[in-house]
A and B are shown apart, each in its own frame.
Chain A
């Protein structure tokens, strides 16, 4: 029983396959027609009809019905396609519109952006200006700083120069020349000869006088330092110095000094 059923089912399947193949073939033709120019359409039709003559009527009718159906289907399809087209077109349009809108939007946005950019640019320009100003200021400050640095350096140089001068003088002092020794002795004896202390005068152990003189020996100024004694004693120092003006002239201009320090040691 089972084998019978299987036979029947295979025949049905065979018939079904034949039908489907024919439908596919037909469908292929239609699609070829659809795809081909309308001029070529009739030829294909004719050719089909010729082929159909060889087929039974029943079959032709069947086929016609099929074709009709297919035509309908095609028509429907066409309709559908048209509708689809419209739909598509509509869609396209919509899309276009959308695109346009978007473009517009974009444009607007761009404009907006442009404005913003301009704003930004303006801002940037301002910032640049500010920056420039700041930079200028900084530059100015740097210049000033460098100027001051230069000044300080110059001052330092001057100090160093003076220091070296002092050193030189010290070295020179250490090597008192004979001329200098003679010079000192001549000044010493002249002032000592002119130093007169009145009787009964109290005096300090040590009083210093700073004397300014010209190269001629003429005294221009006498200042007493660290002397806190009898005014008569202080006066005796000042008188001793002034009375010795002009001081002995230096034997060599090298040993001449504008300022001379006199250390008065009061006698016991």
Chain B
């Protein structure tokens, strides 16, 4: 009885609370945009200028396409009063504020970060990192960027991942080709292999410990696998064929590649465990640039069997190839997103080679770059950014873009002619 009364009351109060909150307002209009954030780092140390940290973080966050970086110098970091602080930041238009300070204590230097949610007036996270002589300020800053990005967007940050690319140095008498591994902003670049002959098609192993690539050191294309930590190289296949376009299977056991049979290019897989080669495609046209589906059961590749290059998919075990792209005169060099939903590819719809996103679910193609000679797209591990090669004043450059093409950022690489970038996993 009492129970039922209580229940009735709860019900009534629920009704009341619903009814007394009867001022129901529909909110229908929103701005689609970027989140305003301010990055403030103060307190210089001898070896680590505060400005470096803020620049790296600002660069990372802006490049992600999710943030609008507001100038923090308009707001003084010295305000101590919490209430005033939030009011000031809010007035400056920031939704988030990274308040950071480098300071010395007991002979050691530290950098302290506090990320504030200006709207909710609360601290989202606090970090303190000890700085030593050997500290990699860029690595620290990228880590901070990752944490900020993850806490605000709920998406994994990719600012501490790596990219690989090929550069060409033109000397008066010859060309020097280099295979580089660097941070995603082009810093900490290391040439892991140099050659006077052409280098092509770098690709990461699933664990990011090795890179497979094509080298012409023996005057024909051959695939090599290089371990990053030790620098040791090994040739994948000891045959007399031209082998190119390596692609690591998601489980790391197979490498799909292109090989010529009587002058025609077909796709094969090489088993790294039992060393067996298996043919995947068989057509009168060229089949090349294999790319694995995340399931490891299917590959995407470029074929001109229809007369023009287009993207096809095919099971690695049986069945026929299926044509995917029909738009434009040229679709090639596909790279799949880690969720298996999108392909990034080079597309020519009559206006030059551009980067496009192809939705495997909805079968539509969307161009996201504006160059005329854009090529070699690859997704960031979180699929939110795409890295590709472009041309600027006849020189190859690398561009990172948000996956909708809205944010486009050139990666500064000390004036080298660069191409074929690929993002690590």
Residue positions of A touching B, CB distance < 8 A? 152, 155, 159, 162-163, 165-166, 169-170, 173, 180, 183-184, 187-188, 191-192, 195-200, 210, 230-232, 235-236, 238-240, 242-243, 255, 257-267
Contacts and interface: CB of A to CB of B under 8 A. Distances in A.
A257 B27 contact: no
Interface string B227-244: 000000000000000000
A155 B5 contact: yes
User: Which of A169, A192, A198 has the most B CB atoms < 10 Å from its CB?
Assistant: A198
Given A200-B404, A230-B154, A192 B23 contact: no
Contacts of B120: 238-239, 242
Nearest to A234: B154
A188 B154 contact: no
Interface string B385-425: 00000000000000000111010000000000000000000
Nearest to A206: B26
A260 B28 contact: no
A174 to B, nearest CB: 11
Contacts of A200: 65, 384, 402-404
B-side interface size class: 35 or more
A198 B30 contact: no
A210 B5 contact: no
Interface of B: 5, 8-9, 12, 15-17, 19-35, 65-66, 90, 95, 119-120, 152-155, 384, 402-404, 406
Contacts of A242: 119-120
B27 A265 contact: yes
Contacts of A260: 21, 23-25
Nearest to A207: B27
A232 B403 CA distance: 17
16 contacts: A155-B5, A173-B22, A180-B23, A183-B23, A191-B27, A192-B27, A195-B27, A196-B95, A197-B31, A200-B65, A200-B403, A232-B155, A239-B119, A259-B20, A261-B24, A266-B30
Nearest to B21: A259
B34 A195 contact: no
Given A159-B12, A243-B119, A261-B21, 14 more contacts: A152-B5, A166-B15, A184-B25, A188-B26, A192-B30, A196-B31, A197-B30, A200-B404, A231-B154, A259-B23, A260-B23, A261-B24, A262-B27, A263-B27
A188 B35 contact: no
Contacts of B406: 199
A240 B27 contact: yes
Contacts of A192: 27-30
Nearest to B22: A173
Given A169-B20, A239-B95, A267-B32, A198 B66 contact: yes
B137 to A, nearest CB: 28
A199 B31 contact: no
A117 B8 CA distance: 59
B66 to A, nearest CB: 5
A22 B22 CA distance: 139
Contacts of B12: 159, 162-163
> Main SS of the interface on chain A?
helix
Nearest to A162: B12
A264 B26 CA distance: 6
Contacts of B22: 169, 173, 257, 261
Contact of A196 (B16, B28, B30): B30
Nearest to B26: A263
A155 B6 CA distance: 10
Contacts of A259: 17, 20-21, 23
B29 A263 contact: no
Q: Would you list the 8 A-B pairs with minimal beta carbon distance, nearest first?
A: A259-B21, A195-B30, A257-B23, A231-B154, A261-B24, A192-B29, A242-B119, A239-B119
A166 B33 contact: no
A262 to B, nearest CB: 5
Given A162-B16, A192-B30, A236-B30, A199 B402 contact: yes
A195 B120 CA distance: 14
Contacts of A263: 24-27
A159 B403 CA distance: 57
Contacts of B20: 169, 257-259
Contacts of B34: 198-199
Nearest to B384: A200
A27 to B, nearest CB: 104
B28 A265 contact: yes
A183 B406 CA distance: 38
Contacts of B66: 198-199
B28 A198 contact: no
Contact of A257 (B21, B29, B152, B154): B21
A196 B21 contact: no
A265 B29 CA distance: 8
Contacts of A238: 119-120
A194 B55 CA distance: 28
